[in-house]
């Protein structure tokens, strides 16, 4: 499966999801991340998120932000947004006839009771975001194992 994680800036949540899911399942799936906004294109992940992920053994330093586009609907089988506004922005890019799956990341972690991954750029809760991202990544891995 080719999986694209999408958030707003592509410097906090989606690069963390990319790094975590790559560590869990990168030998099986093709994984990337992107942002709905273009503000941070070319930049590495946000320093505090890199530090929090690094403390868990996840190295995000080589990632660079890019913006999601219509071509991503052909390049990926599954596009995963971090919140409802990501999903709305992604759906606005969907080419006519594309049946690419677009899902909320928290759908894969129903046990958490969370309906979105809160943005740590604003909440400053990098540990909470990583806990949720790790749980959703585990759920995603299990969900995809049945699909190959």
72 versus 119: smaller Cβ distance to ligand 4NP: 119
Distance CA 86, CA 82 (A): 6
15 versus 97: smaller Cβ distance to ligand 4NP: 15
13 is catalytic: yes
Tell me the closest approach of the beta carbon of residue 47 to ligand 4NP, in angstroms. Answer: 12
Distance CA 34, CA 2 (A): 13
Tell me the closest approach of the beta carbon of residue 8 to ligand 4NP, in angstroms. Answer: 3
Q: How many C-beta atoms surround the C-beta of residue 124 within 10 A?
A: 11
Tell me the closest approach of the beta carbon of residue 37 to ligand 4NP, in angstroms. Answer: 7
Distance CA 143, CA 3 (A): 13
Write out the catalytic residue numbers: 7, 13, 119
């Amino acid at each position: 499966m080719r999986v694209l994680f999408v958030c707003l800036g592509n410097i906090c949540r989606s690069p963390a999801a990319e790094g975590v899911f790559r560590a869990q399942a990168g030998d099986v799936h093709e994984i990337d991340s992107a942002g709905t906004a273009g503000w941070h294109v070319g930049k590495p992940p946000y320093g505090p998120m890199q530090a929090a992920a690094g403390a868990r053994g996840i190295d995000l330093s080589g990632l660079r932000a890019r913006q999601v586009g219509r071509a991503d609907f052909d390049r990926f089988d599954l596009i995963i947004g971090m919140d409802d506004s990501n999903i709305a922005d992604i759906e606005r890019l969907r080419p006519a006839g594309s049946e690419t799956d677009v899902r909320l990341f928290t759908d894969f972690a129903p046990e958490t009771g969370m309906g979105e991954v809160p943005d740590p750029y604003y909440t400053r809760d990098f540990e909470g975001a990583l806990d949720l991202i790790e749980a959703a990544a585990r759920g995603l891995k299990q969900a995809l194992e049945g699909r190959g």
